[in-house]
Structure 1
Amino acid sequence: MILPAHSDGIHLSLAELLHYQKQSVRWLPPARSIWSYLSGQHDSAGKGRGMDFAEVRPYQKGDDIRSIDWRITARTGKPHTKLYTEERECPVMLAVDLSSTMQYGTRLLYKSVQAAHIASLICWLTVAQKDRVGAVVIGGQQVIDCPPTARQQGPLQIMNAIKGIHDKSLKVVQEQHQDTFLVAMNQLHRLCPKGSELIVISDFNQLSACTEKRLKQLAQHNKLRLLHVFDPIEKGETAFRGRHWLGDHQRSLPISFGRKSTLQSLQNDFEHHQQRLATLSNQLQSPVYHVSAGKPLIDQLGGLRG
């Protein structure tokens, strides 16, 4: 598998994140793909009449002659005007999880690197459609706010925050604060205007009852989407059959990947986690998408399913 441009799979550079500015062009309207839903399929900010038809009413003085519905006018003998929904700005807010469980990868990329690539692509798609974009970036011990900003300033601010937290996490092993993800959701609730597009990019290993409650509150007034990033080994997919030590900040255990029971246990845990996300997705009435860190993002876009 070939690494994405400018990437080594572990570290982050601005060059590899800026690369997605050019990649975003292929998913801009009028193109239609699943990615358009992830990036926010909505009316962008604009002036003048909207593009979505609403209703027809009798012509009134001052109406634009271009809006006259000639079929109904001919049938009734009285002029009628088409009305369109007004285009409104819809900010996009990201929650990008770069915490300790995301600093992991066995095949191509760290999950955190894949999350950064996804965030970059969404940022460039958003500003290309003339919407503001903001983010909360989650580290092991901190959460950085990036308020919604227009034009290139928004993506650049977010990318610098992502790179800063990611670089720090690689240099210094930090214990994960259990409430960091919840803190991020609280800050997201404070930052985003009602009616925003919210996209949470994470492995969702920090989900708690309090976090789910906050997500439900966010989903009430915004369009929420969950984007689950996983590593192939979490599904029990690996060609390695030896014995290896795996651990966290508290303990380490020897794992034998040559045993079918080990791979089956991993697969069962992954399916359980997916089911939990599916249940949450139904409760939120928000789609959940799954993206592997074992393949380049661009190779997966055509096959993403909610």
Structure 2
Amino acid sequence: MENVLPPACDGVNLSLDELIYYKQHSVKWLPPAKSLWSQILGQHQSRQLGRGMDFSEVRQYQAGDDIRAIDWRVTARTGKPHTKLFSEEREKPIVLYLDLSASMFFGSQLMLKSVLMAHMASLITWLSVAQQDRVGAIIDTGTQLIELKPVARNKGALAIAQALVTHHNKQLQSPQTSNDSMNEGLHALARMCPKGSEIILLSDFVRLNHDASLMLRKLGQHNKVRLVQIYDPLEKGITNYRGTEQVSDKHTTRWLDFSSTKTRQGIESAFTQHQQQLTQLAHSLGMSFSTLSSDTALSQQLHGF
């Protein structure tokens, strides 16, 4: 299959059109087909399991009603017994952590990691809408946190798409040096998410240090969490380039000779070690872990989940 990006996508800039594209694309992943939804978030479509009860309304007491559900305030005010009615809680928020820090603005082939991340985020938000869930997000630019509280229907998905486009393109035009940890963003995520939320982190996890790992552990205690790592092939040492380039990690700057097999193997080794640490962390916390590569259109990677 040809590696085709969505219409209006150039792989660098982000547009609302290319994110709304995933609204129609998401239909194929809905039940009863084998859904991407279940593969990303576990058996989420089993909506009746593990749900709580939401207060619905009050009506006059009828014979057979549970006396424990009597609303004593309304009863006292009206002089007639009234009972509370409850409906099954069908919505649980889906909350995304979306990494727009400096390291995400890198791509050696088809697109920037940040663009692929936005595509995946958009697909998930439209699936959430189709599943009648509320969807919200924390967008972490590395210097700023944008909090979008979970909202139902199209409003939630559109708000996230618009915020992604705005802050992505702002970062492109005026790059900022990111802080060294995801910790602050994960704290914001914890404040936003009620217990039982579905949480998906889309990031390269370059800034996942010890403190952030501890925060991740706390998030996983009462929520279902999935990690989706976004990476570029060059980070694995995969490139046809054989020249010498100057690279920097904010702390040190050095020249890398990509014609050297030893150099490429060293890059691959560092990436593999990082990925193994992520995999082991996710496994120890009971979280699922997946990867996406920025050299391939999202539609061609979905079968890998």
Q: TM-score range by the shorter chain?
A: 0.7 to 0.9
Instruction: Supply the distance in 2 between the matched residues of 1:3 and 1:42 (Cα, whole angstroms).
Output: 28
Partner of 1:116: 118
Q: Is the 8 A contact 2:37 2:44 kept in 1?
A: no
Q: Aligned-pair distance for 1:34?
A: 4.6
1:90 counterpart letter in structure 2: K
1:220 counterpart letter in structure 2: Q
Matches within 5 A, 1:45-194: 50=48, 88-179=90-181, 181-194=182-195
Instruction: Supply the distance in 2 between the matched residues of 1:40 and 1:96 (Cα, whole angstroms).
Output: 20
2:292 counterpart letter in structure 1: V
Instruction: Supply the distance in 2 between the matched residues of 1:34 and 1:88 (Cα, whole angstroms).
Output: 20
Query: TM-score of the superposition, structure 1-length normalised?
Result: 0.83
Kindly report the root-mean-square deviation, in angstroms, between the aligned alpha carbons of the 2 structures: 2.0
2:279 counterpart letter in structure 1: A
1:177 counterpart letter in structure 2: N
Q: Is the 8 A contact 1:201 1:227 kept in 2?
A: yes
Instruction: Supply the distance in 2 between the matched residues of 1:166 and 1:206 (Cα, whole angstroms).
Output: 18
Instruction: Supply the distance in 2 between the matched residues of 1:19 and 1:115 (Cα, whole angstroms).
Output: 15
CA 1:248–1:169 in structure 2 vs 1: closer, same or farther (change >3 Å)?
farther
Q: Aligned-pair distance for 1:215?
A: 0.7
1:272 counterpart letter in structure 2: Q
Instruction: Supply the distance in 2 between the matched residues of 1:154 and 1:41 (Cα, whole angstroms).
Output: 22
Q: Is the 8 A contact 2:139 2:164 kept in 1?
A: yes
Matches within 5 A, 1:133-282: 133-179=135-181, 181-249=182-250, 251-282=252-283
Instruction: Supply the distance in 2 between the matched residues of 1:302 and 1:43 (Cα, whole angstroms).
Output: 19
Give 3-state SS (helix, strand or coil) of 2:266's partner.
helix
2:203 counterpart letter in structure 1: S
1:214 counterpart letter in structure 2: M
Give 3-state SS (helix, strand or coil) of 1:294's partner.
coil
Out of 246-255 and 9-18, give the one that drifted further: 246-255
Give 3-state SS (helix, strand or coil) of 1:134's partner.
strand
Instruction: Supply the distance in 2 between the matched residues of 1:41 and 1:297 (Cα, whole angstroms).
Output: 22
Partner of 2:38: 36
Q: Aligned-pair distance for 1:303?
A: 2.1
Partner of 2:287: 286
Instruction: Supply the distance in 2 between the matched residues of 1:111 and 1:97 (Cα, whole angstroms).
Output: 10
Q: Is the 8 A contact 1:94 1:200 kept in 2?
A: yes
Instruction: Supply the distance in 2 between the matched residues of 1:51 and 1:274 (Cα, whole angstroms).
Output: 33
Instruction: Supply the distance in 2 between the matched residues of 1:165 and 1:29 (Cα, whole angstroms).
Output: 33
Q: Is the 8 A contact 1:39 1:125 kept in 2?
A: no
Give 3-state SS (helix, strand or coil) of 2:43's partner.
coil
Give the unaligned 5+ runs of structure 2. 51-63, 65-87
Partner of 2:54: none
Q: Deviations over 1:14-70 (max 9, x none)?
A: 00000000100000111114553215632476xxxx489xxxxxxxxx9xxxxxxxx
Aligned residues: 268
Out of 34-43 and 204-213, give the one that drifted further: 34-43
Instruction: Supply the distance in 1 between the matched residues of 2:43 and 2:127 (Cα, whole angstroms).
Output: 11
Q: Is the 8 A contact 1:40 1:92 kept in 2?
A: no
Instruction: Supply the distance in 1 between the matched residues of 2:304 and 2:283 (Cα, whole angstroms).
Output: 22
Give the unaligned 5+ runs of structure 1. 53-61, 63-85
Q: Is the 8 A contact 2:41 2:226 kept in 1?
A: no
Q: Aligned-pair distance for 1:175?
A: 1.2
Instruction: Supply the distance in 2 between the matched residues of 1:135 and 1:219 (Cα, whole angstroms).
Output: 17
Give 3-state SS (helix, strand or coil) of 1:152's partner.
helix
Partner of 1:75: none
Q: Is the 8 A contact 1:35 1:301 kept in 2?
A: no
Instruction: Supply the distance in 2 between the matched residues of 1:33 and 1:271 (Cα, whole angstroms).
Output: 29
Instruction: Supply the distance in 1 between the matched residues of 2:224 and 2:187 (Cα, whole angstroms).
Output: 16
Q: Is the 8 A contact 1:12 1:167 kept in 2?
A: yes
CA 1:51–1:141 in structure 2 vs 1: closer, same or farther (change >3 Å)?
closer
The one of 15, 18, 40 equivalent to 1:16 is 18
Instruction: Supply the distance in 2 between the matched residues of 1:99 and 1:301 (Cα, whole angstroms).
Output: 24
Q: Is the 8 A contact 1:134 1:147 kept in 2?
A: yes
Q: Aligned-pair distance for 1:240?
A: 1.2
Q: Is the 8 A contact 1:96 1:119 kept in 2?
A: yes
Q: Is the 8 A contact 2:38 2:45 kept in 1?
A: no
